[in-house]
Structure 1
Amino acid sequence: MDLGYNFLSGTIPTWFGQSFPFLRILILRSNAFYGELSLDFSKLDYLQILDLARNDLSGNIPASLSYLKAIAQVQKKNKYLLYGKFEQHYYEESLDVYVKDQLLKYTRTLSLVTSIDLSDNNFTGNIPNEITELYGLVVLNLSTNHITGQIPETMSNLLQLSSLDLSNNKLTGTIPSSLSSLSFLGSLHLSNNNLRGVIPYTGHMTTFDALTFTGNPGLCGPPLPVKCSGDDDNRHSTNNDTNGEGLFDNCSYLSLGLGFATGILVPYLIITIKSSWGDVYFDFVDQIIYKLLRLTRRQGKDNGQRRKIHQRQ
């Protein structure tokens, strides 16, 4: 059902689920719908594409989106649908979907696409954690709203996600490092929010440029030109290095101290306990020194003789 780009107004009817239980595509974008989103999503078991962008919807994003069973599972079976004949041409199922910064037309693979687009509305509140239970979701666009709170850590559960747009909101906190595990993510927009801290520029995150993160005064580190302070940039690595170096230094100092104490105390204890042992100890030391001196002199004589023989030759 595509009713987009019209002059429809009022609240979105709640009876879509009951009246159209097999509905797979619902497009109401670019109209004048307002009010809270109160669809009965528990009835829409087959819905794969929900496009409500560019309206005047408000309130919180409903946690009941997690009831969309067709999006909660990965779509593996491709169903290419054709409808009847008209003037010797088939009507084929097709749809334009905004994916990866461009409008893509899907026909033969449309049944594999799952998408939720709530952009350009007046939604407020946090991103519900329940939305990260839609494990088969390919496209998620919540941009240009008034969404607050943090990006859920569980966003990394959406392993099929190809496009994620959270730009132009009021999101706060840090960017979850777990986003780098989304290997299928080809388009990411987090610009124009209130995000802060070091960008987790590792793994798959290194495929995105500075435009992904601009407009967040609190963000720093690559790929942005803003350098992080020492406390932020190397917080974890500094702690690890400091702990490692501290442990090494402590061990070194302990070894030196024990060696020094042993060298001083052992002779003292020997002399103190029994004077005869002291005589034996020092005689032993004298013999070692005498042998070292004799060895050094021999080596000196041998070197001298070699020099004379070399000069004669």
Structure 2
Amino acid sequence: MCSLSFLYWLRLSGNNLSGELSWLKNCRSLNTLDIGDNKFSGNIPGWLGENLSSLSKLRLRANLFTGDIPQQLCHLSDLHILDLAHNYFTGSIPCCLGNLSGFNRFTSSKSAFTFAFSSESIYIHQMDLVVKGRQFGYTSTLELVNVIDLSSNNLSGEIPVEITNPPDLGTLNLSRNQLTGKIPKKIGEMRWLETLDLSSNYLSGSIPSTMSYLTSLSHLNLSYNNLSGSIPSTNQFQTFNDPSIYEGNPELSITDVDAKDKDGKKKVDNKEDEYDELWLYLSTGVGFIVGFWVVCGTLVLQRSWRHAYL
């Protein structure tokens, strides 16, 4: 059992460690816990959200954890990185996760400022996170990253509306679960959302038109669900030209995306044809003028040529 009551940062990721988490019970000063990519198992104990109340970053990714995601995690008010991906969690997503103040951008910035001038800043801390479909190693900017990644589990039920509460959340990845119901319309209020991956679930209904308000969104994946209706065609959705992010939804009108691509290509081709035609007329006119003055100008200037011609 942990006897280092002053332990602030613990990173044991990428090993072959196993067992449960009882040894962490007295690590009350922990701010960051990264034990991802191991073989830890069992449930997340409820005391983790009560005893380790200072946690702001929790990465349990790629282990063998089972059971429900405990409601006690919602006691971690400073939490702004929650990565539980690639485990065997079941049950529903706790609604209260969307009420954590740690996902507020200004709160995170304040923490980063304090951290930069603390004694711990002499060490280089790093955490690997999957953002925009790729894994990145974050160091100095880690305090500014806001992530909820619950992908590749066995979570069920609907996406709670409360999960869309944090306007400053940057990454929301709920892919490869068994989620049902509709995409919450309130998701359009997440002004700083850059990554949204809801693929490989059982979501139904239409894509909310409010999602076109997500002006920071650069990575979207809604594939392999039961979505229907048409795809929004305004604002941010004009930048998503990859049809694969919608595939696997038989009743979704992905033809609009194809039509948009073809229309855009047609406009480019038409513009190129106009340029070619203009260049043809211009070159013909210039060639005539130059040819005319080469012949006539010579006759005007050279008297002997003029006499010979006559």
Query: Counterpart of 2:50?
Result: 18
- Per-residue CA deviations over 1:2-47 (Å, capped at 9, x if unaligned) read 1111111111111112221111110111111111111413320111
Shift of the 82–167 alpha-carbon distance from structure 1 to 2, 3 Å rule, reads farther
Give the structure 2 partner of residue 246 of structure 1: none
Show the counterpart of 1:6. 38
**1:178-233 deviation per Cα after TM superposition (whole angstroms, max 9, x unaligned):** 1111111010000010101111121111111212111111111321479xxxxxxx
Number of the residue aligned with 1:53: 85
Aligned ranges for residues 120-199 of structure 1 at < 5 Å? 120-199=152-231
- The size of the alignment, in residue pairs, is 223
Q: Deviations over 1:231-252 (max 9, x none)?
A: xxxxxxxxxxxxxxxxxxxxxx
TM-score by length of 2: 0.68
- Amino acid of the residue matched to residue 61 of structure 1? I
Listed as ranges, the gaps of 5+ residues in structure 1 are 227-313
Q: Distance in 2 between matches of 1:42 and 1:25?
A: 13
Query: Which runs of structure 2 are paired with 1:228-307 in the superposition (5 Å)?
Result: none
| SS of aligned partner of 1:97 | strand
Asked if residue 100 in structure 1 is aligned to residue 100 in structure 2, the reply is no
Determine if contact 1:142/1:166 at 8 Å carries over to the other structure.
yes
What amino acid maps onto 2:146 in structure 1?
Answer: T
From the CA coordinates, give the structure whose radius of gyration is larger: 1
Counterpart position of 1:241: none
Identify the match of residue 222 of structure 1 among 242, 247, 256: 256
Gaps of 5+ in 2: 1-32, 261-310
Per the alignment, in what secondary structure is the counterpart of residue 8 of structure 1? strand
Q: Which runs of 4+ in 1 moved over 2 A?
A: 72-85
- Deviation string, structure 1 residues 120-152 (Cα, Å, up to 9, x no partner): 000011000011112221100000000000000
**Correspondence list, 1:20-99, <5 A:** 20-72=52-104, 74=106, 75-77=108-110, 78-79=112-113, 81=116, 90-99=122-131
Cα deviation, 1:78-101, whole Å, max 9, x if unaligned, reads 43548869xxx9421221111111
**Mapped partners of 2:63, 2:119: distance in 1:** 30
TM-score (norm: length of structure 1): 0.67
**8 Å contact kept, 1:72–1:133:** no
Tell me how far apart the structure 1 counterparts of residues 200 and 118 of structure 2 sit (CA, whole Å): 40
Q: Secondary structure at the match of 1:143?
A: coil
Measured after TM superposition, the shift of residue 73 of structure 1 is 5.1
